[in-house]
């Protein structure tokens, strides 16, 4: 028996799915990536480092912020550039804004309809007008953070190597705080709504990988850890996680020690760091009644909701810090262009994003490697499907297809990021 989805809608980018099942055994299960290549790593070679964030963030229209941050951080690490605490805080805020608006898009507009048996979001919007308004309001808070600090939502402008070209005014920060306070109470309502969604059962034990920093729910800095005892600095990323290409595939895959698939993203972060969540997010997580570790990838959707609440709380905490600091300190300071190699990682909405760059003495890029979260979880998704498919074989073809689409979408894959 063949199960084939020509095109999976409502994900970022173009992909299909194909599986063959023989007397209850899954012989193959494969995400078929149909994205054209853009060769972003290739076109950066020979260009000046200042072009790199501008070009690299255009890998993705949903998560340009995290590409901007990670590319800049890798260049700063390569040239030994240090930035002020204020600049780091503004960057963390950018990433929180990114996580809030990307998660809200996925939660509400890409994934939710799957669990309400609706096939078109315009119908979803009609049936749930209040919830739609609330979801839009939450997204808008995340977008507003990026707009105020970054200058624009899609492809932000202000952040650069050494700091920021422009910093927000105190009044703008105050406005964001007000909007954030409202967003937090809206988030509780949306979160309650999501609690009522029935998610399918499934379980497969796995390795959850994410960043880790002392005293905080790491998104911008830290080492890499896993629930299986991994603990390595970002510099060792490529030693531990092997990126490889299969002939004829435009998407590269990544496997831990070259053999095992692993999972990244909201589900990995919440499982590893639930004790570090902010109070309201923790309270919401507890109310879900999941016993952790939780190995059901459908729950990724609810863990994104947990992270939305956490990120709003965190953004408010950081914005209040900024009010009492001198934001001018975040403006770009003079630095020296130096030859070097640098690696950096940031937690993207979908998981750890990794950049490595080599820069020559004149500031030109010699080599770049970018490893996206979706490339990291692609093999994991296929491994999950191999276990999931036999559990739904009794369903009608149409229902099987629906379940497969829902499963793939719950992962929130970003195919543009993965192919770049």
Which residues contact other proteins (rule: CB under 8 A)? 7, 9-10, 12-14, 34-43, 45-48, 51, 54-55, 58-62, 64, 105, 109-110, 113, 119-122, 125, 132-133, 136, 139-140, 143, 150-155, 157-158, 165-166, 245-248, 250, 367, 405, 416
Question: Minimal distance in Å, beta carbon 61 to other proteins?
Answer: 3
Question: Minimal distance in Å, beta carbon 159 to other proteins?
Answer: 10
Q: At what angle do helices 129-150 and 300-323 cross, to 10 degrees?
A: 40
Is 71 or 206 the residue whose CB approaches other proteins more closely?
71
- The whole-angstrom separation of Cα 146 and Cα 155 is 10
- Cα 159 to Cα 134, 151, 195: the distances in Å are 30, 9, 37
Is 267 or 415 the residue whose CB approaches other proteins more closely?
415
Residue 380 main-chain phi, psi, to 5 deg: -65, -40
Q: State both tokens at 223.
A: 């080492």
Question: Minimal distance in Å, beta carbon 221 to other proteins?
Answer: 25
Q: State both tokens at 160.
A: 């650069």
- The whole-angstrom separation of Cα 402 and Cα 392 is 11
- How many residues does this entry show for the chain? 420
Is 177 or 331 the residue whose CB approaches other proteins more closely?
331
Is 208 or 298 the residue whose CB approaches other proteins more closely?
298
Question: Minimal distance in Å, beta carbon 51 to other proteins?
Answer: 6
Q: Are strands 351-359 and 159-160 parallel, antiparallel or unpaired?
A: unpaired
Is 189 or 358 the residue whose CB approaches other proteins more closely?
358
CB atoms within 10 A of CB 171: 8
Q: Are strands 340-348 and 253-256 parallel, antiparallel or unpaired?
A: unpaired
Question: Minimal distance in Å, beta carbon 131 to other proteins?
Answer: 13
- The whole-angstrom separation of Cα 86 and Cα 350 is 26
Is 157 or 235 the residue whose CB approaches other proteins more closely?
157
Is 12 or 384 the residue whose CB approaches other proteins more closely?
12
Residue with tokens 């001198």: 326
Q: Which of 52, 67, 59 is nearest to 98 (CA)?
A: 67
Is 38 or 386 the residue whose CB approaches other proteins more closely?
38
Question: Minimal distance in Å, beta carbon 38 to other proteins?
Answer: 4
Question: Minimal distance in Å, beta carbon 71 to other proteins?
Answer: 13
Is 112 or 281 the residue whose CB approaches other proteins more closely?
112
Question: Minimal distance in Å, beta carbon 281 to other proteins?
Answer: 24
Secondary structure letter of residue 340 according to DSSP: E
- The whole-angstrom separation of Cα 42 and Cα 137 is 39
Question: Minimal distance in Å, beta carbon 408 to other proteins?
Answer: 12
Is 140 or 181 the residue whose CB approaches other proteins more closely?
140
- The whole-angstrom separation of Cα 263 and Cα 378 is 9
Cβ burial 334-367 (10 Å sphere, 16+ → b, else e): eeebeebebbbbbbbbbbbbbbbbbbeeebbbee
- The whole-angstrom separation of Cα 178 and Cα 145 is 12
Question: Minimal distance in Å, beta carbon 57 to other proteins?
Answer: 9
């Amino acid at each position: 028996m063949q199960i084939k989805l020509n095109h999976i809608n409502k994900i970022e980018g173009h992909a299909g799915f194909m599986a063959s099942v023989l007397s209850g055994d899954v012989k193959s299960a494969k995400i078929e990536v149909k994205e054209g290549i853009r060769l972003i790593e290739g076109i950066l070679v020979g260009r000046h480092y200042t072009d790199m964030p501008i070009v690299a963030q255009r890998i993705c229209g949903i998560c340009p912020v995290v590409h901007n941050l990670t590319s800049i951080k890798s260049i700063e690490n390569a040239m030994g550039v240090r930035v002020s605490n204020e600049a780091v805080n503004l960057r963390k805020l950018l990433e929180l804004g990114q996580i809030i608006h990307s998660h809200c898009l996925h939660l509400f507009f890409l994934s939710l309809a799957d669990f309400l048996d609706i096939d078109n979001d315009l119908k979803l919007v009609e049936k749930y007008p209040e919830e739609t308004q609330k979801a839009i309001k939450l997204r808008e808070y995340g977008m507003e953070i990026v707009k105020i600090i970054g200058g624009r939502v899609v492809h932000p402008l202000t952040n650069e190597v050494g700091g920021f070209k422009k910093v927000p005014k105190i009044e703008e920060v105050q406005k964001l705080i007000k909007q954030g306070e409202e967003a937090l109470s809206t988030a509780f309502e949306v979160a309650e709504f999501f609690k009522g969604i029935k998610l399918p059962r499934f379980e497969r034990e796995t390795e959850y990988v994410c960043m880790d920093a002392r005293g905080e729910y790491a998104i911008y800095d830290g080492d890499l850890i896993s629930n299986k005892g991994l603990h390595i600095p970002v510099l060792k990323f490529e030693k531990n996680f092997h990126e490889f290409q299969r002939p004829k595939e435009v998407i590269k895959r990544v496997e831990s020690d070259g053999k095992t698939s692993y999972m990244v993203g909201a589900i990995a972060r919440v499982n590893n760091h639930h004790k570090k969540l902010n109070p309201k997010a923790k309270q919401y997580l507890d109310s879900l009644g999941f016993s952790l570790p939780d190995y059901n990838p459908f729950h990724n959707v609810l863990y994104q909701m947990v992270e939305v609440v956490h990120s709003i709380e965190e953004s408010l905490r950081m914005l209040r810090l900024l009010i009492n600091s001198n934001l001018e300190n975040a403006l770009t300071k003079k630095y020296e262009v130096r030859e070097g190699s640098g690696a950096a990682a940031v937690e993207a909405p979908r998981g750890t994003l990794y950049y490595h760059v080599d820069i020559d003495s004149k500031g030109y890029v010699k080599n770049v490697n970018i490893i996206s979260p979706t490339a990291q979880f692609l093999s994991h998704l296929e491994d999950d499907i191999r276990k999931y498919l036999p559990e739904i074989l009794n369903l009608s073809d149409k229902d099987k297809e629906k379940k497969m689409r829902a499963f793939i979408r719950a992962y929130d894959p970003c195919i543009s990021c993965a192919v770049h």
